[in-house]
Chains A and B, each alone.
Chain A
Amino acid sequence: MKRRDFLKLGGIVAAASAVTPASSLLYAGKTTTSAIKYGLVIDLTKCDGCGECATACRIANNVATSPDNEKINNYWLRIARVKSKFPNSHEQAIPLMCMHCDNAPCVHVCPVKASFVRKDGIVMIDKHRCIGCRYCMIACPYKARSFVFKHNEGFSNPDVPKTMHGVVEKCDFCVTRIDSGRMPVCVESCKKGVMSFGNLFDPESQVSRLISSGKVHRVREDLHLGAKVYYLGL
């Protein structure tokens, strides 16, 4: 083989290796089915916005905390206060967290598939794969995601991963608790029984019964994201 032919061959191989990954862009990801799909129903008529769920969430999940700088203080669960624009209107406390969408925009935009929907419907982040590009934070309509801006030394709960500077974190329905048969910490910590967590596919579950009442709504249903956090009395 002449030198020129060899170089040509090398060029063809290089070009082919640049083009091959493109072929994997052409077909969409496959969908999986499962007998379990977790969901959460929040009864706003019982919620007074005490914030105990938010505190419990912060401790149980090692959420990156910067008390001195509220702009980089991360939230997995927050209590929003919402009222109409008319005077003397009633202010409603609404706990907000990741809505665990079936069509999650954060999962769609993630360039490395670090964000993914687990078979049981929980949207999770692989912190060891996340590159920290923050595109998911741009795409999420619920502002459910926070970036870890700073290396945090202490951690309050040794059972879940520590925060990691440079990656994105968010509510994962306390997945380690669910997998050991317990409830998410926000559900457990609420003394007023505002939140119910369970399998949406099980017709006997508390969440299914509340949803079948027909009085539940989700935040920004107009976006068609298939959110799995429902609100009674929204």
Chain B
Amino acid sequence: MKIYWTTINGKSLGMYFLLGVLAILAAAGLYATYAMFSQGHYITGMNNQIPWGLPIVVAIYCIGLSAGSLVLSALSAVFGQKEFKPFARIAVFVAALFLVGSLLSIVLDWGRPDRVMLPFLYLNPRSIFSWNGFLYSSYIFICIVYLWAMFTGRDGWIKPMGILAVCWAVGVHSGTGAIFGFINARELYYSPLASPTFVVAALSSGTALMILIIVSTFKATGRFLDNRLITGLAKLLGSFIMVVLYFVIVEYIVRLYTPSTCEPTRFVLFGGNLYTYIFWVGLILLGSIVPAIILFNPITKNSIPWISFASLLVVIGVFCERLIFVLPGQIFPLNLFPDMEMTSSFMDGQITWYQVSLPEIAQGLGILSIVAILYVIGLKLFALLPTEARHLEHEL
């Protein structure tokens, strides 16, 4: 079956309304960013105890969505799942956009974003950030070449580019996990499992987000979407959720078992604080168990509304996983003198809560809005969507 690719019309009232709302959110985000630099970063919830707050969570979350959606496009090109070809272009495009979003979030989180070119001038071979600067920028480049190959019909290029893009996506996400996993100083960061966990969480959240994007975009633009394609993706999503859950369980059990990491782990899992609820309710219950029940239950697993709901839960659940990864490792104090009690005027030995501030929330929403605006404009300018997405089975 030949797939015909078209742009969207993009002249409906709803479209202008959507773009208007997104533009307001983006403007608010940019203003919040401006306020951080003109007044100082003290207006954020970050402080010397918690130097990384919501912007880093948003950044690594966007990278996850990016790497995950790219793998979706490779399903048809690399793994021979030809029925997913109608989603190939949009998946690569979304992957590139979320990488732009994550780079925006990282750079605007710096104290000096005006020095954005310095990481490319002074590479530090031992710095994971240096590696990531290289991986992320080349990843966007690979996505663009991959899209170009698809648009110009260079079928010989598609498979090699797809393989390269999948390898790069794994590298990008391992690199993101390594930002935390290589930090020996912090008990809740240091872990060889950090990189693999980030990769599988990326697959899970990326697939879930692509289901939401595809279902909503096809519905909004009145395109036919074969239910079997979505249920096929939902099957994948169900297994990704299980793998993430397994990795999380292994990681936390090892940490609970080890005396040196037991105390901070108990603080997260059984401390009765906000992060305890984020872990048990956000990640385990709503982010993993409920969607797994929906996706494996024979009554709900073929229903598009149920699958969309499960995908939404997974998208939120993986965000909770990112929060749990980034924040408690800083909130729980550094252990300078093991087994001793320590106090000082610099908040040593005390738990310092992170209170997320309005500018950070506005900035995060603004960056996601910029990604959404670029998505809509991209659909308008480039023929990313097929006229219809049919399952190939009866054709073959």
Contacts and interface: CB of A to CB of B under 8 A. Distances in A.
A27 B106 CA distance: 26
A140 B184 CA distance: 9
B343 interface: yes
Interface stretch (B128-136, B218-226, B358-366): B128-136
A82 interface: yes
- Counting from the closest, the 9 A-B pairs by CB-CB distance are A132-B111, A166-B111, A141-B185, A111-B129, A150-B40, A71-B47, A134-B51, A149-B42, A80-B344
Contact of A84 (B46, B121, B341): B341
A81 B337 CA distance: 11
A149 B348 CA distance: 19
Contacts of B340: 82-85
Given A110-B127, A134-B52, 19 more contacts: A11-B145, A19-B138, A75-B346, A78-B345, A79-B344, A96-B344, A96-B348, A109-B182, A111-B124, A112-B124, A113-B124, A114-B122, A129-B122, A131-B110, A138-B183, A141-B185, A148-B111, A149-B46, A223-B184
B126 A28 contact: yes
A81 B126 contact: no
A176 B121 CA distance: 27
A25 B48 contact: no
Nearest to B48: A146
A147 B111 contact: yes
Contact of B42 (A18, A28, A69): A69
A15 B137 CA distance: 12
A22 interface: yes
A229 B150 CA distance: 59
9 contacts: A73-B346, A80-B336, A80-B343, A85-B339, A113-B124, A131-B113, A141-B184, A146-B48, A150-B40
Interface string A11-33: 10011001101101111110000
Interface size class of A (residues with CB under 8 A): 35 or more
Interface string B92-123: 00000000000000100111110110111111
A167 B330 contact: no
A25 B344 contact: no
B125 A27 contact: yes
Contacts of B51: 134, 137-138, 147
A147 B37 CA distance: 14
Interface in B134-154: 134, 137-138, 141, 145
Among B123, B134, B344, residue most surrounded by chain A Cβ atoms (within 10 Å): B344
A143 interface: yes
B341 A25 contact: no
A198 B364 CA distance: 48
Contact of A25 (B47, B130, B343): B130
Nearest to B183: A139
A216 interface: no
B334 interface: yes
Interface in B32-53: 37, 39-42, 46-49, 51-52
B221 to A, nearest CB: 33
A84 B100 CA distance: 49
A166 B48 contact: no
A81 B118 contact: no
A157 interface: no
B48 A111 contact: no
Interface in B11-58: 37, 39-42, 46-49, 51-52
B155 to A, nearest CB: 18
A151 B179 CA distance: 29
Interface in B287-337: 330, 334, 336-337
Interface string B342-378: 1111111100100000000000000000000000000
Q: Chain B interface secondary structure, helix, strand, loop or mixed?
A: loop
Contacts of A18: 137-138, 141
Among A110, A138, A139, residue most surrounded by chain B Cβ atoms (within 10 Å): A138
A18 to B, nearest CB: 5
A131 B184 contact: no
Interface in A69-113: 69-75, 78-85, 96, 105, 107-113
Contacts of A156: none
A139 B110 CA distance: 16
Interface string B181-197: 01111100100000000
Contacts of B141: 14-15, 18
A143 to B, nearest CB: 5
A232 to B, nearest CB: 16
A154 to B, nearest CB: 15
A75 B347 CA distance: 11
A149 B334 contact: no
Contact of B37 (A22, A71, A105, A166): A166
A111 B352 contact: no
Contacts of A129: 115, 118, 122
B110 A166 contact: yes
A211 interface: no
A119 interface: no
A193 to B, nearest CB: 23
A81 B123 contact: no
B109 A143 contact: no
Contact of B119 (A29, A78, A111): A111
A19 B141 CA distance: 11
A149 B37 CA distance: 9
B322 to A, nearest CB: 15
A190 interface: no
A71 to B, nearest CB: 4
A111 to B, nearest CB: 4
Interface in A115-168: 129-135, 137-143, 146-151, 165-168
